[in-house]
Amino acid sequence: LAKTTQPISMDSYEGQEVNITCSHNNIATNDYITWYQQFPSQGPRFIIQGYKTKVTNEVASLFIPADRKSSTLSLPRVSLSDTAVYYCLVGDDNSGYALNFGKGTSLLVTP
């Protein structure tokens, strides 16, 4: 199983861009990289997924270098409501689903 490593916590001010990097050195060829957001006492919510290069949606961008050993979630102009824990997952070898949550990154956005 590909293990992920993220910073434990990050702080940001409102309006800034936040980049959260995740390391996954032993990612498998078929693994996708998926990011989830979790607010306290709620289930996680899907943010974005990618395989290589760059993916962008209405919420975030995901940058993946050619070697795919890391990925960076980019949140543009964060607001207070973006305060949450962000998890990076890579696909499970057996099922193809990304099921193993690492420790995540706790993002605190302040005024």
Partner 1 sequence: GAVVSQHPSRVICKSGTSVKIECRSLDFQATTMFWYRQFPKKSLMLMATSNEGSKATYEQGVEKDKFLINHASLTLSTLTVTSAHPEDSSFYICSAILGGPYNEQFFGPGTRLTVL
The residue (of 21 and 102) whose beta carbon lies closer to partner 1 is: 102
Q: Report the residue from 70, 87, 90, 107 that binds partner 1 according to the rule CB under 8 A.
A: 87
Strand partners, 45: 37
Distances (CA, A) of 53 to 31, 58, 69, 97: 14, 17, 12, 20
- 7 is a contact residue toward partner 1 (CB under 8 A): no
State which of positions 11-40 bind partner 1 (CB under 8 A). 32, 34, 36, 38
Is residue 74 classed exposed, middle or buried when 0-12, 13-18 and 19+ CB atoms within 10 A define those classes? middle
- 44 is a contact residue toward partner 1 (CB under 8 A): yes
- 54 is a contact residue toward partner 1 (CB under 8 A): no
